[in-house]
Structure 1
């Protein structure tokens, strides 16, 4: 999540296209966030398979990465043609932030699961008296 937020913030700063320093700083922040997210996603994928599956994970990750970049570039170009670059950057940042919703949802579900598990253990301990 930190990489995603940094990337979105960087893109929002880049939206200030008339301010050269904002574009450079925003691009640097975006790049840092993007790098964090790249590393985190492939590491997460590797953690979910045995070492024998690393080749498959690498191939799938690279296909998804390249396809996402291509589809994103076409989509961004289409939006920029309709709205101009500043608004296209703002809309891109907002779209990126929608990825926080499932992350928040997963976090909430995990917290509820832990609370339920703790509650079940407490009842069991009380029953055992």
Structure 2
């Protein structure tokens, strides 16, 4: 669920951030679209190092919360600083969540299943990007961009329940299903 939430938001950000910012802030959208994947890449590396030492399960909830906070910051589309900062925070959360979820699905499967799991994970990511962009477009048409970003951040938090339940099972020693 956490991975799905961040994948949906990725499609939203890359598709709708440029038209969401006022025309005088177009440079901020361009910078934000550079900063977001850079932050994701750096966060994946940090999450991988942390996960190797302490396990990846502890990273899903913080990654999801960072992602949602970044999307919520995009409500302030008129502020160039908020647009770039929101993209950076979202990117960091996305990178953490990507690394943690992919590591967890591999840890929970046997080695012969790795190819299928990786393909499904990538399919889920790509489908999430397209679904997020499509759904956001419908919502933004009725609410405007700031409210649509706020609703997206709130919707992302729906994944907290399953993420917290999974994290509790991992820390208690029970293997999640």
TM-score with structure 1 length normalisation?
Answer: 0.80
In the TM superposition, 1:31-46 aligns within 5 A as 31-46=91-106
Query: Cα deviations across residues 22-68 of structure 1 (Å, max 9, x unaligned)?
Result: 00000000011011111111111100112221111111101111111
Q: Distance in 1 between matches of 2:85 and 2:166?
A: 32
What pairs with 1:29-108 in structure 2 (closer than 5 Å)?
Answer: 29-106=89-166
**Secondary structure class of the residue paired with 2:78:** coil
2:70 to 7, 10, 16: 10
TM-score, normalised relative to structure 2: 0.59
In the superposition, relative to structure 1, how do residues 50 and 104 fare at CA in structure 2: closer, same or farther (>3 Å)?
closer
How far apart are residue 102 of structure 1 and its match? 2.1
What is the RMSD of the two structures over their aligned residues, measured on CA atoms? Answer: 1.8
Give unmatched runs, 5+ long, in structure 1: 115-129
Task: Answer yes or no: is 1:28 the counterpart of 2:84.
Answer: no
SS at match of 2:77: coil
Report how many aligned residue pairs link the two structures: 112
Q: Whose Rg is larger?
A: 1
